[in-house]
Structure 1
Amino acid sequence: MRALPLTLAPGQDLKVFLDTLAREQQCSGFVLGVVGNLSRAAFQCPGRPEPTVLEGDLEIITLNGTVSPQGAHLHLSLSDGACQVWGGHLEPGTLVLKGVELLLGVLDQPKVAVAVGSHPVTAPMPAPSTQVSPWQALPSRVEIAVLPGCPWCARALRLLSSAEVPHQVFRVDHDDAFHHWHGRSGMSTFPQVFVDGTLLGGYDALSALHERGDLMQLR
């Protein structure tokens, strides 16, 4: 068994992501641990004809179960803003709010995939201490620093993922992170895109690279 750490980005569907990863890469395993929050949770309660759906700032308490090419069978428990606990069988439509850190135990797989956007690609299994983003395939030439909730950052991430360009994502969600990226780039706006360690620029520079047909060369 290998331990695979994953980071899910804001807006990603937790159930769909795990189903896609396991199906397209033919890997099986189980959840070892999880922390994070959700903007929307869909789960099937016992005896109910339809899934229950909650929206808001929802904190994940537990996620237990298995993933396989036949689909993920997972049970989710979470807390709402009133500290009321909910739970049931995880369903599609469960969306990440700020981020979810997930640790999978992958069984008997010499290689495992980490997803670029919604399109998983094969990559060597990282060491257990390596933090892997679901937007990232190792190795990658592109680094992108993003602000949570920034529409231009979201567009840049969609552009990279649709072009299937491996990239490392860094969330700028506190002052120290902002000062780090400002000091590195001299920019106070986001996203900030680096190629081979050199500043490319923001969304406009990335879009121009795509329009010239040069973005694909970074795969």
Structure 2
Amino acid sequence: MSSPAPAPSSHARFYALRLKPGEDIVLELRKFVRMHELQAVSIVTCVGSLTEAQLRYANVSEWAKVTGHFEIVSLVGTIDAEGEHLHISLSDGTGRMIGAHFGPGSAVYTTAEIVLAELTDLIFTREPCQLSGWDELTIRRRT
């Protein structure tokens, strides 16, 4: 078995933003990426809270809306000019955790403090993968 090729490295530029009550995290991230013409973004950190979220659980094709008061324990993922792949972990008032794929349809409760890293030497796109059946991340070097 051969060793995998080294992954491309990149310099990064960081952005910090705060979302306010009622804002949709995914839609605001999409807007931010478009406005700044970013091509390869990773979420560094996110803390805050939600009153609703659109989740897609593992191996389930339908989206589920959850409502209540949730702390954002983590939000991770990659974003490109055309889309994103995000996962979120949330905890409720009893500390019960849920985690899933995260899509548009959230509402910030008090705040969402987000730090993004733009990988300035790379371009992210999504292309069909025969192995997974999904559009998956493709990483290219910027020319």
- Do they fold alike, i.e. is TM over 0.5? yes
Question: Which amino acid is 1:9 matched to?
Answer: K
Identical aligned residues as a percent: 33
Question: Which amino acid is 1:62 matched to?
Answer: S
Aligned residues: 109
Pair 1:37-2:49 in alignment: yes
Deviation of 1:7 after TM superposition, in Å, equals 0.2
The residue correspondences of 1:52-201 to structure 2 (distance < 5 A) are 52-108=64-120
Q: Report if the CA contact (8 A) 1:22-1:71 is conserved.
A: no
Larger RCO (alpha carbons 8 Å, 6+ apart): 2
Pair 1:46-2:33 in alignment: no
Q: Report if the CA contact (8 A) 1:26-1:68 is conserved.
A: no
Superimposed CA distance per residue, residues 159-198 of structure 1 (whole angstroms, 9 cap, x where no aligned partner): xxxxxxxxxxxxxxxxxxxxxxxxxxxxxxxxxxxxxxxx
Q: Report if the CA contact (8 A) 1:65-1:73 is conserved.
A: yes
Structure 1-normalised TM-score? 0.47
Question: Which amino acid is 1:32 matched to?
Answer: V
Deviation of 1:76 after TM superposition, in Å, equals 0.5
Q: More helix per residue: 1 or 2? A: 1
Q: Report if the CA contact (8 A) 1:41-1:53 is conserved.
A: yes
Unaligned runs of 5+ in 1: 110-219
**Larger-gyration structure (1/2):** 1
Question: Which amino acid is 1:8 matched to?
Answer: L
1:25 pairs, out of 21, 26, 36, with 36
Unaligned runs of 5+ in 2: 1-11, 122-143
| Partner Cα separation in structure 2 for residue 103 and residue 22 of structure 1 | 13
| Partner Cα separation in structure 2 for residue 26 and residue 43 of structure 1 | 27
Deviation of 1:24 after TM superposition, in Å, equals 4.0
Say what the alpha-carbon RMSD is for the aligned residues: 1.5
Cα 1:2–1:18 change in 2 (3 A) is same
Deviation >2 Å, runs of 4+: 23-26
